[in-house]
Amino acid sequence: MHGRPRKAYKPEEEAASAAKAAKLRGLQSQFMANHHNKIYTKEAVDLSTKLLEINPEAYTAWNYRKLAVEDKLSGIESDPDLVKTILDEELRVVESALKQNFKSYGAWHHRKWVLSKGNSSVGNELRLLDNFQKLDTRNFHAWNYRRFVVELTKRSEQDELEYTDDMIGSDFSNYSAWHNRSVLLSSLLARKADGFLPNKKIPDEYKLVQNAIFTDEDDQSGWFYHLWLLDQTVNVETPLLTSSWPSHSSRISLYAGCSKGSFSKLTTFGSESGSFPLVLYFDQAVGGVSSSTVTIDSELKGNEDLVWEPVSKKNSQVSCVWVARLKYISSEPCFGKEYKVKVRVGNSPGIVSSRGCNFSASYEFVFTAHVHDTVEESSQDGIVSWKDGFDIWDAESKDLNALATLDRSNAQMDSKWRQEAIAEEIDLFRELPDSKIGKLTLARLLMAKAMISDDAVKGVHYNEILELYKDLMALDSSHYQYYKDEHSVALLRKVTSSTEDLSGHLFRCRNMNNSVCLRLNNLSLSRIASVEKLLFVQMLDLSHNELHSTEGLEAMQLLSCLNLSHNRIRSFSSLDSLRHLKQLRVLDVSHNHIGEHSVDTTRYLCSSPLSNSEWPQDEVGSQMPSLVTKYWDAYFVLRDLNLKQLDITGNVIAGDEFSSFVLQVAPKLVWLDGKKLEI
């Protein structure tokens, strides 16, 4: 099946093959008769041995042998010598079968089954393993069996670590050994075993893996181990709060009425529901955010026992982003009243990362909410145009405060050993100028360094990173799109790294009464990133880019107007993350590729019955079942959005049938493709 050369069968070969098949069929039918009649005589069992030695994949024969053993053992448990003889025979048959095919699942499992009956010694098993691992150092059956024996005999992790040292020492190109090492080492580090502290161990491991990377620049054996070391160096286990909206010391103005309004300041917000989203963005996925672990101290009435929701897939209890809605409109008149709001995150224990680490000591931030009583006058249903002109936004300094985020990354990296390790690795990798792995690792190292650097130096780092990815796109064109995505991530980090850089992308939208719009169009972006710095955004122009998914946008809880025209969106399923944006009213996906492709790469990343995470269907759905099946993803996405304006022209899917489907699914729509709809 694998690795056999293609050649026409000669007549003699055909005949020999047919004879072998006939013999096997004969053996098999005799064996089946014995099995079905539960015959376990020596003769019958020997027949099964013959069969398995020719074909170790005859799984029923391994089952039969287990039944035969159990039959023989019952009644002779008191005779240990006899038991040993029987079990030894089984081990012999397994070894013989493995010689035929050392990748036979049935053979290996039979051996484990026999061993669980208490025969054989560690010495024997390790000897057997040594032979197999010499023949093929990557045989994962052997490595799995080794882990089984280690578990059974309680061999120490330190001893096994030494074994990987030997394997790697004799041949660095052994991914299986590096993998095993990573499992053992992470366990030893996690339980802080003697002599296994990260500040000493990790730098030692860097030295060990250097050989594997520098000896043969194309050999991947050490790449993933090195990436793991980098992750251990850069990322701290304990979860931290990266950013929030509103941010610390900010002052927000709240209005009643439609949020698609005329807010000339960065920090104004309006909503028909009379509540605003309070957003927490953590550096890793956490669970346990609730009104007992996050307390709000404020005079804004009606906000006891807030409900906190993770912004994530339906089945998930964890997320980087959590949101709760604070009410600000109450029955009492509140002309221009100011409320101070104190938020304490981690007030009591309970916030835990998905890896089981508790949130660090409680963190508090304060902002001021200025509630205005006036209801928004401008037409709530006016069309939003992205073409009518944008003016540069002259930021007032107090507005820029809204852009400031916590920059928690500094806190993370205060350990000296981490900074030193990164600096050393950077120096080392600068010595591999023309290799793919050299450039890629250097880019990753510089990214880690940029995150902890001062503003002054950050820009330099990001520019170098962008150049490295451009080099990689040319050097390793098979993975062009991987480097393109990384380039986009670096570009967005650069854009959001300082308030100056960011304010260069903020404009006033004339058509929208000078609302502030973040314009990131025409940047060749293939990927969204740095959203934790963009939680304040209400109007976003991402047109004329290369995006194929809105993954990441779910954190922008204030977003009300989004332009995705002229991108590479292929399906509505790729817009699944927008279902979390309760404020979204205006969406432009015109001139994309929706309906053009037979393969949907976000089919399982969209909550639907296909991923058993969404149940059909409401009344609308049951009235047009065939269209709901045909346009299933558009159905679920549009149903959950509360759009007033949608643009879908310029997509293969667009047309009369789809438009009328949309009108059924999104009855609140006022504008479709620039035309006002009759109510």
Partner 1 sequence: MGGFAGNTGHDPHVLYTLSAVQILALFDKLDILDVGKVSSYVAGLQNEDGSFSGDMWGEVDTRFSYIAICCLSILKCLDKISVEKAVDYIVSCKNLDGGFGCTPGAESHAGQIFCCVGALAITGSLHHVDKDLLGWWLCERQVKSGGLNGRPEKLPDVCYSWWVLSSLIMIDRVHWIDKAKLVKFILDCQDLENGGISDRPDDAVDIFHTYFGVAGLSLLEYPGVKAIDPAYALPVDVINRILLTK
Binding to partner 1 (CB under 8 A) within 59-78 occurs at 59-60, 62-63, 66
Residue 251, phi then psi, degrees to nearest 5: -125, 115
Beta-bridge mates of residue 363: 345
| Min separation Cβ 607 and partner 1, Å | 7
Q: Which one, 93 or 254, has the nearer CB to partner 1?
A: 93
Q: Which one, 501 or 546, has the nearer CB to partner 1?
A: 546
Q: Among 309, 407, 424, 485, which residue interacts with partner 1 (rule: CB under 8 A)? A: 485
Q: Among 20, 25, 38, 138, which residue interacts with partner 1 (rule: CB under 8 A)? A: 138
Q: Tell me the two tokens of residue 598.
A: 């037979």
Where does this chain touch partner 1 (CB under 8 A) — which range of 235-243, 252-260, 363-371, 474-482?
474-482
Q: Among 378, 379, 612, 660, which residue interacts with partner 1 (rule: CB under 8 A)? A: 612
CB 446 within 8 A of CB 465: yes
> In the range 213-252, which residues lie near partner 1 by CB under 8 A?
219-221, 223-224, 227-228
Q: Among 629, 655, 663, 667, which residue interacts with partner 1 (rule: CB under 8 A)? A: 629
Residue 287, phi then psi, degrees to nearest 5: -125, 175
CA distance 564 to 540: 9
| Residues 524-553 as x/- pattern, contact with partner 1 by CB under 8 A | ------------------------xx-x--
CA distance 498 to 584: 27
Q: Is 55 in the site for partner 1 (CB under 8 A)?
A: no
| Residues 159-198 as x/- pattern, contact with partner 1 by CB under 8 A | --------------x-xx--xx-xx--x------------
Q: Tell me the two tokens of residue 40.
A: 């376990």
| Min separation Cβ 34 and partner 1, Å | 12
- Within 10 angstroms of residue 169's Cβ, the number of other Cβ atoms is 12
603 contact partners, CB below 8 Å, separation of at least 6: 571, 573, 610, 633
Q: Among 25, 211, 604, 676, which residue interacts with partner 1 (rule: CB under 8 A)? A: 604
Q: Is 602 in the site for partner 1 (CB under 8 A)?
A: yes
Q: Among 103, 109, 155, 201, which residue interacts with partner 1 (rule: CB under 8 A)? A: 109
| Min separation Cβ 275 and partner 1, Å | 27
| Min separation Cβ 2 and partner 1, Å | 5
CA distance 678 to 675: 9
CA distance 99 to 638: 59
Q: Is 118 in the site for partner 1 (CB under 8 A)?
A: no
Burial class (CB in 10 A: 0-12, 13-18, 19+), 435: middle
| Min separation Cβ 359 and partner 1, Å | 20
CB 494 within 8 A of CB 509: no
> In the range 569-598, which residues lie near partner 1 by CB under 8 A?
574, 597-598
Q: Is 642 in the site for partner 1 (CB under 8 A)?
A: no
Q: Among 264, 316, 374, 378, which residue interacts with partner 1 (rule: CB under 8 A)? A: 316
- Pick from 550, 546, 573, 548: nearest CA to 562: 550
Q: Which one, 67 or 392, has the nearer CB to partner 1?
A: 67
| Min separation Cβ 163 and partner 1, Å | 14
Where does this chain touch partner 1 (CB under 8 A) — which range of 126-134, 139-147, 257-265, 272-280?
139-147
Q: Which one, 424 or 485, has the nearer CB to partner 1?
A: 485
The helix (run of H) or strand (run of E) holding residue 506 is strand 506-509
* DSSP three-state, residue 219: coil
Where does this chain touch partner 1 (CB under 8 A) — which range of 197-205, 301-309, 366-374, 608-616?
608-616
AA letter at 343: V
CA distance 564 to 520: 10
| Min separation Cβ 640 and partner 1, Å | 15
Where does this chain touch partner 1 (CB under 8 A) — which range of 57-65, 86-94, 258-266, 326-334?
57-65
CB 549 within 8 A of CB 571: no
Q: How many residues bind partner 1 (CB under 8 A)?
A: 77
Give yes or no for a cis peptide into 625 (omega within 30° of 0): no
CA distance 93 to 96: 5
> In the range 17-36, which residues lie near partner 1 by CB under 8 A?
32, 36
| Min separation Cβ 259 and partner 1, Å | 28
CA distance 345 to 260: 31
The helix (run of H) or strand (run of E) holding residue 369 is strand 363-375
Q: Is 155 in the site for partner 1 (CB under 8 A)?
A: no
CB 64 within 8 A of CB 35: yes
AA letter at 128: L
